[in-house]
Amino acid sequence: MDSKQFREAAISSIEDIVKYYDTIEERRVVSNVEPGYLRKLLPEEAPQNGEAWADIQKDLEAKIVPGLTHWQSPNFLAWFPSSSSFPAMLGEMYSTAFTGAAFNWICSPAVTELETIVLDWLAKAFGLPSCYLSTGPTNGGGVIHGTASEAIATVLVAARDKYLREATSHIADEEEREDAIAIRRSKLVALGSAATHSATKKAAQIAGVRFRAVPVHAEDGYRMTGSELRRVILELRAKGLEPFYLTATLGTTDTCAVDDMEGIATVLEEVAPPGKGEIWVHVDAAYAGAALICPEYQHLAKPFDRFHSYNTNLHKWLLVNFDCSAVWVRDRRHLTDALSVSLAILKNQHTDSGLVTDYRDWQIPFGRRFRSLKVWFVVRSYGIEGLRRHIRKHVKLAETFADLVKGRPDLFEIVTGPRFALTVFKLVKEGSTLEEQNALTKKAYDAVVEDGKIFLSSTVVGGVFAIRHNPATPLVEEHHVRKHFEILAEAAEKVLKET
């Protein structure tokens, strides 16, 4: 494909993409193909000779699109959103055109410097403490990872190495210190609440340490409390184990609960005060963190200056296409001490001067993409005020939905929310047991998903089977939300009538 052919193909592709978005509401949200469908449609071997773009494009619509779930549909309400916007798409297009591994500053200075700048912009826009700025007082700063899971794995590794390094710093003999580290590592425990995303447990497995969950309770709104954290830490220490890391969550996956950040900070200052032996606290705000761009939510960030790191996925709720997880640390040296690599081929005067950032030392992978370009495009296209309107719109839509649910107490009961545009609810029937209500809710949920007009996810909290409604895709409007409720109410009425 030469430049002329590329221009023609690109114009045609953009037309396809625009049409896709303009008509996305007409498509069934969830693909209903059978497993293995695509193998039946594609050849057994790759083509020996190149094919015309027009033929490839036809196969995209005929063979690939039927196997897609349409995350940008206003009727996609499951899990959390995966944002999309045209400015971000343009950023991706330019990024792929400028492609490079970008593992250090000299690879492309603009790739590194734009990332530092836009993450400082966002740290200020989110109201994060100054310790997370690249120009702040604690040697902090931001970096873009692929996902929150990657971010958690990265900071957990940094926390592990920091803890072990400090615990064995008094041992002069290198071999003796290695033995001591191996023994101490077997006792390390990473913590998260019972509502924490599974990414923390997975990160602990990767890092070769144990994981323990701090219980959460309905009476606390399913958030981790300082008192429960203290109890778990003391119990672990009584067994000779050493808690070294904690994921606190702003917006849990099941219910968007916010852990008791002040209580957690206060307890840790008591049982693991700052300094040698402290517990690294990472705040996972993968979805709900986007709301901090609105001043009315920024009080939630005030305790973060007592913690070590923070992340939010810009690709979830802030109009930046997947993947783009923004991570901030209070002290970058803990990352570079754990993850720095030194090879002769990487040496250059700029790195040696210490005046530039080499982001390869802030992440687990070596190479990296030019993700900050799409962030820059989005922030400049919408402005901070435009992004605030985007968040507030969805918060209001969720409140509308919750009001509709409350208006039918004969059918539904809210379990939690609305929080950060998420409402969790269940079916009710007078005189029924919890098990019976769970069965009714599941039956209605299954019927709605099978019907295919809308797509939601379910969860189980405190033994309650519940449905999650999260109207946070960019294209959703109030009339969609009212239609969602009509579909759910109709399914609930049918299920209750049959029992």
Mean pLDDT by 10 residues, the chain (499 residues): 92 94 93 93 94 94 94 94 94 89 76 92 97 92 93 96 91 89 93 93 95 94 95 97 97 95 96 93 97 97 96 96 95 89 64 66 80 95 97 97 96 95 95 93 96 94 95 96 97 91
State the pLDDT at residue 99.
Answer: 87
State the pLDDT at residue 351.
Answer: 60
**CA 366/CA 490 separation, integer angstroms:** 52
State the pLDDT at residue 354.
Answer: 58
Residue 377's contacts (CB-CB under 8 Å, 6 or more residues apart) are 87, 88, 90, 91
State the pLDDT at residue 369.
Answer: 84
State the pLDDT at residue 360.
Answer: 78
* Type of residue found at 122: L
Would you call 323 exposed, middle or buried from its count of C-beta atoms within 10 A (0-12, 13-18, 19+)? middle
State the pLDDT at residue 174.
Answer: 86
Could you tell me the strand order of the sheet in which 242-249 lies? Answer: 141-145, 325-329, 309-313, 280-284, 242-249, 188-193, 210-214
User: Residue 362 in contact with residue 146, Cβ under 8 Å?
Assistant: no
Of the CA atoms within 13 Å of residue 246, those in its CB half-sphere come to 30
**CA 38/CA 67 separation, integer angstroms:** 8
From the CA atom positions of the chain, what is the Rg in Å? 25
**CA 436/CA 432 separation, integer angstroms:** 6
User: Residue 326 in contact with residue 287, Cβ under 8 Å?
Assistant: no
State the pLDDT at residue 358.
Answer: 79
State the pLDDT at residue 212.
Answer: 97
Q: How many CB atoms lie within 10 A of CB 476?
A: 24
**CA 336/CA 333 separation, integer angstroms:** 5
Nearest to 379 by CA among 161, 125, 43: 125
For the chain, give the number of residues: 499
Q: How many CB atoms lie within 10 A of CB 190?
A: 26
Residue 439's contacts (CB-CB under 8 Å, 6 or more residues apart) are 465
* Type of residue found at 415: V
